[in-house]
Chain A
């Protein structure tokens, strides 16, 4: 076997794994706090891509500044989605929250395809590439992976040491008890949804600097986020980062042995098996 190809493929997969992982952290964070599977995650990721695109083409912003703008937009959009669609279905049967978030999905995709059309977009942007032994890696991928990793670290410190981070963890543990000690739990839920959406749009922004995309592109990454979250344990944000790395490695490793089209088979079979055998994920998540 060609060791050079294996190395290159693995590094490539690993780098992308961080970027996918950060989107999954958003999904799993929302589930952990309010037990809502956010089916609007994919369209939000796609909106992140479009924010970077329009920031670059209309405002002339550097793509990485666009990624920042995309994250801030995500926070506000998430709070808006929570207020409109999610707030009233908290604590109701899962069918309600699944359908409520899916209706948001339909609205974003419906308006998105009408406004942006379904034609592919591309951000003209390259940082060249560097050669590491046998592997050639585009610099933009390294930057994206580092940015995703930094975001995950920042989130960790935010959750551990800030007031609102502690609020979120308290509400995750027990909403009623949190409310009793004076935590404004509805605001915390809104903020958590905003945070999850922010991570999705941030991830989408980073992906836009790497690949061409359409408004429908988010669905693919939403499914990846599901797989990653389940691997890491639904509701366990740091597990999702490791899940992202695992998925990245699978995406790097499988094409070395099988045609690329088998990657999805491996991922989804793994996804189903994990749910069957260890529904709390490899590292333990919220118990079902």
Chain B
């Protein structure tokens, strides 16, 4: 079936719609809402590269977010680097960690891989807790004088927003490229049957490692942005396991291994959270309601919204990728 140009434009339009909205209204509240949405989208779309395409369930996505956040924060607050360079280093540090551990841990399959990623996250959190240059248990705080160089705190909020917006767009392009490239085909073959892929000549070890590295680079950038505008960072905020799991849920919700799925999943999940948190009846048990919804999805539509649409209505495959 010939692919419609909409398979590329739709995901791009989704991100543009969310991202441009506060630029039009110029309202702080809208910008913060869009920031939360784009952060969710970026985390989900980057996790999708390893989880969706290769089928390796990583609970360690947040370790890259936290590490990128810490490295960038340290470079800006202590070493006085310009933000953009520090952010880039945050991403590089996260990607480097993924590359170094990837060769080892990607040999493990199924539950063993999931467990080891939990272990890597907890080990990193416990280590940072004891690592004095990063402030140990109390973490680091940003001197507000640093923000002056960027035109004050308000300008920083906008500047970091633009960066995040740009990263979200970049992720759409990267995901689309992977989905339509030979590299992506290799990753998908790993997901379907890794041994068969290997026999067919896919260099599975190399493919997996690069997918893992690529998927780690982006949360590193996002963490750098988030903690820079947050003005403080500490171990428990930087490595919360539940953010990893929320990212998995967002990917699942939208449809793993698709381009538009994680975007829809990220936005849908955040929307649902806000709905539950502001609903007087459900506010106190929002976590329980979210859990029940997750269970229903896992049991009845494991392919996610986009996967379900593609299967149920084959005509949508032309433009839903």
Main DSSP-derived SS at the A contact region: helix
* A230 and chain B: residue at smallest CB distance: B115
Main DSSP-derived SS at the B contact region: helix
Q: Considering the complex, which residues of chain B in the window 100-152 have a beta carbon less than 8 Å from any beta carbon of chain A?
A: 104-105, 107-112, 114-116, 118-120, 122-123, 125-127, 129-130, 137
The residue in A89, A230, A268 that gathers the most chain B C-beta atoms within 10 A of its C-beta is A268
A110 to B273, CA, bound (A): 13
Q: Considering the complex, which residues of chain A in the window 60-117 have a beta carbon less than 8 Å from any beta carbon of chain B?
A: 84-85, 88-89, 92-96, 98-100, 102-111, 113-114
Instruction: Choose among B104, B111, B288 the residue that contacts A107 (Cβ–Cβ < 8 A).
Output: B288
Q: Is the CB of A279 within 8 A of B292?
A: no
Give, as a whole number of angstroms, the nearest-CB distance from B127 to chain A. 5
Given A265-B123, A268-B126, A288-B108, check contact A99 B284 (CB 8 Å). no
- A-B pairs with beta carbons under 8 Å apart, 30 shown: A37-B115, A84-B295, A93-B55, A96-B302, A99-B252, A99-B294, A102-B245, A103-B292, A103-B298, A106-B290, A107-B288, A107-B295, A109-B288, A110-B287, A114-B284, A219-B241, A227-B119, A230-B115, A234-B111, A234-B112, A262-B126, A262-B130, A264-B123, A265-B123, A265-B126, A271-B116, A272-B116, A276-B104, A279-B108, A288-B108
Q: Is the CB of A109 within 8 A of B287?
A: yes
Residues on A with beta carbons closer than 8 Å to the beta carbon of B114: 37, 94, 98
Whether A139 is near chain B, meaning CB under 8 Å from some CB there, is: no
Q: Is the CB of B287 within 8 A of A259?
A: no
* B295 and chain A: residue at smallest CB distance: A103
Whether B285 is near chain A, meaning CB under 8 Å from some CB there, is: yes
Whether A178 is near chain B, meaning CB under 8 Å from some CB there, is: no
A269 to B120, CA, bound (A): 8
Residues on A with beta carbons closer than 8 Å to the beta carbon of B289: 110
A98 to B290, CA, bound (A): 16
Query: Using an 8 Å CB-CB cutoff, how does the interface string of A249-270 with B read, 1 for contact, 0 for none?
Result: 0000000000101101101110
Query: Using an 8 Å CB-CB cutoff, how does the interface string of B73-102 with A read, 1 for contact, 0 for none?
Result: 000000000000000000000000000000
Known: A92-B302, A264-B126. 15 other contacts (CB 8 A): A35-B110, A35-B111, A95-B248, A100-B298, A102-B245, A105-B291, A107-B288, A109-B288, A110-B290, A234-B112, A262-B130, A264-B122, A271-B122, A276-B105, A288-B108
Give, as a whole number of angstroms, the nearest-CB distance from A120 to chain B. 17
Whether B50 is near chain A, meaning CB under 8 Å from some CB there, is: no
Residues on A with beta carbons closer than 8 Å to the beta carbon of B288: 106-111, 114
Residues on A with beta carbons closer than 8 Å to the beta carbon of B299: 85, 88-89, 100
Residues on A with beta carbons closer than 8 Å to the beta carbon of B107: 276
A105 to B245, CA, bound (A): 12
Q: Is the CB of B291 within 8 A of A104?
A: yes
Give, as a whole number of angstroms, the nearest-CB distance from B125 to chain A. 8
Report A's interface with B, CB cutoff 8 A. 31, 35, 37, 84-85, 88-89, 92-96, 98-100, 102-111, 113-114, 219, 223, 226-227, 230, 234, 259, 261-262, 264-265, 267-269, 271-272, 275-276, 279, 288
Give, as a whole number of angstroms, the nearest-CB distance from A109 to chain B. 6
Residues on B with beta carbons closer than 8 Å to the beta carbon of A276: 104-105, 107-108, 116
Closest 4 A/B residue pairs (Cβ): A106-B291, A110-B288, A110-B287, A268-B123
Q: Is the CB of B57 within 8 A of A223?
A: no
Q: Is the CB of A223 within 8 A of B291?
A: no
Give, as a whole number of angstroms, the nearest-CB distance from A122 to chain B. 23
Q: Is the CB of A110 within 8 A of B248?
A: no
Residues on A with beta carbons closer than 8 Å to the beta carbon of B285: 110-111, 114
Give, as a whole number of angstroms, the nearest-CB distance from B104 to chain A. 5
Residues on B with beta carbons closer than 8 Å to the beta carbon of A234: 111-112, 115
* B104 and chain A: residue at smallest CB distance: A276
Q: Considering the complex, which residues of chain B in the window 271-301 have a beta carbon less than 8 Å from any beta carbon of chain A?
A: 284-292, 294-295, 298-299
A84 to B295, CA, bound (A): 9
Residues on A with beta carbons closer than 8 Å to the beta carbon of B320: none
